[in-house]
Amino acid sequence: MHQPYETRLGHPADFRIEYSFYSKEEGGREKLPFQGIRSDFWYDHQCHEVNWLFMIWPEFEDQSGNVILDDTIPVPKTGIALMWIINDERRIYHRDKIKVGTKGYFREGSRKTAVCEVIEIIGLLTNPTTNKR
């Protein structure tokens, strides 16, 4: 059973995205992932270094907008996900770059597995910017 990141981290998600996983033929995954996958969200920006790892992870929602708690079944091929910047100190870097309409990808290593678009900013501007020790 998936424990929601909001419970674990003690603050709301940073933003919400609409996503669509690529098929295997499009260069994507062979099978759809499960809740809890740690795909990294990547978006193009002139300040990024090519091989940076952002640690911005998805948390998939069902059609009613609830976090999917069953981590034993694949998530939908297309849908909505909350996005979490796991390293609080990196949030400052993203605050002026991630906006509604920003297009991005889920990456697993160097492979893009899904296309995404930011549809809502939630706690990006107000969530913590220092890691709890």
Q: Which domains does the chain have, with CATH numbers?
A: 5-121 (2.40.30.10)
Containing H/E element for 4?
Answer: none
Say what the pLDDT of residue 21 is: 98
Decide: pTM greater than 0.85. yes
Cα separation of 40 and 67, whole Å? Answer: 18
* Residues 68 and 2: beta-carbon distance below 8 Å: yes
* pLDDT tens sequence for the chain (133 residues): 999 999 999 999 999 999 999 999 999 999 999 999 999 998 988 887 767 778 999 999 999 999 999 999 999 999 999 999 998 888 999 999 999 999 999 999 889 999 999 999 999 999 988 876 5
pLDDT score of 133: 55
Helix (H, G, I), strand (E, B) or coil at 94: helix
What's residue 52's pLDDT?
Answer: 78
